[in-house]
Amino acid sequence: MSDNNIIEQHKAPALDVRDLQVEFDAQGGVVKAVRGVSFSVNPGETLGIVGESGCGKSVTMMSVMGLIPMPPGRIVGGSAKLNGRELLGLPLRELNNIRGAEIGMVFQDPMSALNPTMRIGEQIAETLMIHRGIGKTEALKRAVELLERTKIPEAAKRARQYPFEFSGGMLQRAVIAMSLACNPSVLIADEPTTALDVTIQNQVLELMREIQREEGMAIVLITHDLGVVARMADHVTVMYAGQVVESGTVDDIFYRSAHPYTLGLKEAMPSAEMHVEQKLTAIAGSPPDLFAPPAGCGYCNRCNHALNICDKLGPELIAVGEGHHSRCWLQHAQAKREVAELYQGSKRAC
């Protein structure tokens, strides 16, 4: 690859999703799970997607990879480009060439991501045989190298073992080894460390970091753990009720949070000085029912700062800084004054 090409690649996002809309037919109506989600991630960077269960963060990534069962699922609109190539609507055969080769995937539960009746080494080799057309002996050799790369001790012996002989942390390393087999340009990790203990989580995150530094791939990290995001992400997208409510650099999100939901998430966790006598600022209520998404802002019934307009008309994403957007009327030009007053009232205002 010439130098020009490398520079070119660094300009263009590795994965670019625009206005994605996904619905599901369910008993009793249509669930609008993803309602116009856009984000992009550049090579060598990590995008954290944060949100609580049911906010559509996993569905978004599954749709991008064509893993949504259709029916009942349906991609209503939008686009998802991998290195400039449209993914949505690709025929299955072409998708299969991309998944596992250009996009690597790591899921929350490594046990169910692997075939329990196949040896670990063979599963990794299979990826190489299919996507790279390598012979079995050569592929098995490469599989052992990949296991060594993800720091699995006694890789050659481990490659001949079955998933049940691995611990959770080791399995997740094996899944990472498999997802890296074909040098993907994008790695999608959906809650990769949620099932692991903190010391093991530490090891797996550090491994992902190290490999990213060497390979320069883009990582999309889906998680609900703000600590993991703070550690890993360059950019962050906060999702709520099927929409992006705030996006920006990791510092924008943590130190200059603009959306009341982001603020709420931060305040719901105890700071280092707090004790049980001081109440945590809980977010009351629960997310809206996406069978009938609200006409206005999805967060307004839980929001302390809601204005009259909020339950009638949903706001657009409003720029609050360079590359920093928030979907909240409080940031609208005409509401600015009121915002300052409101945030003064809040304990840990931005």
Partner 1 sequence: MQIKNLQKRFHIGRSQTLHAVDGVSLDIAENSIVGLVGESGSGKSTLGKTLVGLHDKSGGDVYYRGDRLPDRYKSADYRRYSKNIQMIFQDPYASLNPRMTIEEILTEPLRLQHQGDSKSNRELAASWLQKVNLHAAHLGRYPHEFSGGQRQRIGIARALITEPDFVVCDEPISALDVSVQAQVINLLGELQDTMGLTLLFIAHDLSMVRYISDEMVVMYLGSVVEQGPSDDVFFTPKHPYSQALTKANPLADPKQEKQRSHDLIKGEVPSPVNLPPGCRFVGRCPKASERCHSERPLLQPVGRDHLVACHLYD
| Cα angle: 239, vertex 245, 246; to 5 degrees | 100
Q: Does 292 bind partner 1 (CB under 8 A)?
A: no
| Burial class (CB within 10 angstroms; exposed 0-12, middle 13-18, buried 19+) of 281 | middle
CA–CA distance, 145 with 100 (Å, rounded to integer): 18
Shortest gap between Cβ of 108 and partner 1 (angstroms)? 13
Neighbouring CB atoms inside 10 A of 169's CB total 19
| Residue indicated by tokens 């992009």 | 40
Asked whether position 224 contacts partner 1 by CB under 8 A, the answer is yes
Is residue 18 a contact point for partner 1 (CB under 8 A)?
no
Q: Is 311 in the site for partner 1 (CB under 8 A)?
A: no
Which of residues 176 and 250 has its CB atom nearest to partner 1 in the complex? Answer: 250
Q: Is 230 in the site for partner 1 (CB under 8 A)?
A: yes
Within 13 Å and on the Cβ side, how many CA atoms surround 48?
Answer: 26
Q: Which of 19, 94, 154, 197 binds partner 1 (CB under 8 A)?
A: 197
Q: Report the alpha-carbon distance of residue 201 to residue 199 in Å, rounded.
A: 5
Q: Which residues, numbered 19-58, are part of the site for partner 1 (CB under 8 A)?
A: 52-53
120-128, 136-144, 279-287, 311-319 -> range binding partner 1 (CB under 8 A): 279-287
Tally of CB atoms within 10 A around 107? 20
Could you tell me if 124 and 143 are in contact, meaning their C-beta atoms sit under 8 angstroms apart? yes
Residue 152: CA count within 13 A, CB half-sphere: 29
Minimum CB–partner distance for residue 303 and partner 1 (Å): 12
Is residue 228 at the binding interface for partner 1, with CB under 8 A as the rule?
yes
d(CA 188, CA 292): 30
Interaction of residue 265 with partner 1, rule CB under 8 A: yes
Q: Which is nearer to partner 1, 254 or 343 (CB)?
A: 254
Query: Residue 231, interface with partner 1 (CB under 8 A)?
Result: yes
**Given candidates 11, 93, 279, 347, which one binds partner 1 under the rule CB under 8 A?**
279
Chain positions contacting partner 1, by CB under 8 A: 52-53, 167, 169-170, 197-203, 206, 224-231, 233, 250-251, 254-255, 264-266, 268-270, 272, 274-276, 279-284, 286
